[in-house]
Structure 1
């Protein structure tokens, strides 16, 4: 059974621990050590105060469910130590130099960088863009003004432009766009809307190419423990981990 270390022990990690039956969690680390100690009660896995001690454990794969900053700080060390990594905070890979550095280390160490689908669906299908170029990829994300830390009484377009520009203004709202760029191999146009009437975060994906056209709308339910966290994102990691050792692979 694959041995999993959790880097980041917040709400996503708690869903993995409580609902990921059969996932062998063997080590825990969080910058806020109390979070790791809390998860220790659910998993029985040791919680480490020092990242170096966490990384020295006999792990097969490290699951990052912390932040873009945690990816910058720790992803290279994870790969250098001979372990695979799951990166949920994929916004860090908008930095092309950093992304290429991780890929180079992974190749040299014969390791894998795994990107879960996160808060959206359809990435598997959209990978066809890597072999048949797409003419358009648009992400339209709609959230409550509160989650974007703005005030408005009506539906308002707060950003329109490229994903690499959006990340400079709204770094916590760009993970989906970066995941789409990685999947399709195409620049993603982003529309970010604030809507005081919306109850759930909504992502709409539009893509066009030689294959035809594609439209998908996802309305995310929040994690039961924290409305700021996508339940779908947590479930996508559980699904990824459970399929690592299966003999039959579904999809591209």
Structure 2
């Protein structure tokens, strides 16, 4: 059974802990002791508030479910500790210098960096963009104004530009744009909208190229314990962990 060290003890960590089947969480890390202790009790793991001590524990893979800043701070040392690294806050990889350094370290150590599908679908086929020309590639994300602490009485576009620019301005809200960019090998254009009439985060993907064209629309149900978190994003990590040891690989 794969053993997991969990970096970040928030809502996603709790969802992962509730669904342990073919993997086991044995260590959890958070800077806030009460959060680490709570999740450790829920997952029958050991809690850590010192990262170096956390890395000295016995587990196979680190799952980051904390923040862009945490992924960038700890990513390289995780790989150098001999563990594979699951990055939930994929916006961290929009920093080209950091991403290239992380990939070089993974190659040097013979380790893998895993990026879950997160709050969207279709990344497997979007990877055709790595070998086939893409003419149009757009992500349109619509959220409630309250989720971004914005007042708006009508649908309003608050950002239009490239993925890396959107990640810079909204690092907690459009991680999916970097996941799409990495999958396609082609930076996605992003429109970020707020709409007072929506009660779910909506991601629309428009892609057209030599292969044809596709439109994907995902309406995410918020996590029951934290409306700011997409339940699908947490489920995508669970799916990845459940299939790491599966000899039958689908959709890659």
Q: Shorter-chain TM-score category?
A: over 0.9
SS in 1 for 2:204: strand
Structure-1 separation of matches of 2:169 and 2:244: 35
SS in structure 1 opposite 2:172? helix
1:161 is aligned to: 161
Q: How many residues align?
A: 252
Kindly report which structure 2 residues correspond to 1:112-127, keeping only aligned pairs within 5 A, or say none: 112-127=112-127
In 1: Cα distance, 2:121 partner to 2:162 partner: 21
Q: Who is 1:217 aligned against? A: 217
Tell me what 1:202 maps to. 202
5+ long unaligned stretches in structure 2: none
Is 1:89 the equivalent of 2:83?
A: no
What is the correspondence of 1:179-190 to structure 2 with a 5 Å cutoff? 179-190=179-190
Residue in 2 that maps onto 1:7: 7
Q: Displacement, 1:21?
A: 2.7
State the alpha-carbon separation in 2 of the partners of residues 216 and 64 from structure 1: 27
Contact 2:142 / 2:203 at 8 angstroms: preserved in 1?
yes
State how far apart, in whole Å, the 2-side matches of 1:201 and 1:225 are.
16
TM-score for both structures, normalised by structure 1: 0.98
Q: Aligned equivalents of 1:166 and 1:251: distance in 2?
A: 28
Runs of 5+ consecutive residues of structure 1 not aligned to the other structure = none
Q: Is the Cα–Cα contact under 8 Å of residues 21 and 242 in structure 2 kept in the other structure?
A: no
Write the distance in 2 (CA, Å) between the matches of 1:191 and 1:49: 38
Alignment check: 8 A CA contact 2:2 2:22 kept: no
SS in 2 for 1:171: coil
Deviation at 1:197, TM superposition (A): 0.3
When the two chains are superposed, the root-mean-square deviation of aligned CA atoms in Å is 0.9
Q: SS of the counterpart of 1:172?
A: coil
